[in-house]
Amino acid sequence: MNLSIREAGAHEADKINALYRRCGYSGSVAPKDVVLLAEIDRQPVGAVRLCKEDGINVLRGLYILPAYYRKGIGSKLLQHCEMLMQTGIFFCLPYAQLAEFYQRAGFAQIPEQELPRMLQARLAAYRSKGLNAIAMRRPVRRING
């Protein structure tokens, strides 16, 4: 498996949005998002976005094509996010069953009341659709090297 992870260019938004649709995700890339793209033999297999929304840092849209589950691609995408997430506190709203996965990247589950208001509303919207999402926060964490 010839895996590479790189920061995607703004001109690649359509490619990433197409990947998201193949993964069953309805979110899409915004012009200011920082997107990390996982590719195998130059074919997109996963992506994650670091977004700034209303001044709040949010990790969103970490999706891997199902054929590539359990191959460490999601973990490698999160590892590549580490340097970029040193800039401040980050929030994410993952599925509850992924809590341990995000904890390995420094996120901790928090009461939803500790989310910024716009993320409280987003979490409520996810739950109203039947999604078992949780609130997580990653404090500023400097890494060496």
Give tens-digit pLDDT for 6-55: 999 999 999 999 999 999 999 999 999 999 999 999 999 999 999 999 99
Q: Where are the beta strands (DSSP E) in 71-140?
A: 90-92, 108-109, 136-138
In the numeric block, the tokens 């078992």 are attached to 132
Question: What does the block give as tokens for 115?
Answer: 């989310």
Segment holding 36, helix H or strand E: strand 34-40
Question: What does the block give as tokens for 117?
Answer: 């208001």
**Mean pLDDT on 55-76:** 95
Assessment of whether the complete model's pTM goes beyond 0.75: yes
Residue 55: per-residue pLDDT: 93
In angstroms, the CA 78 to CA 70 distance is 14
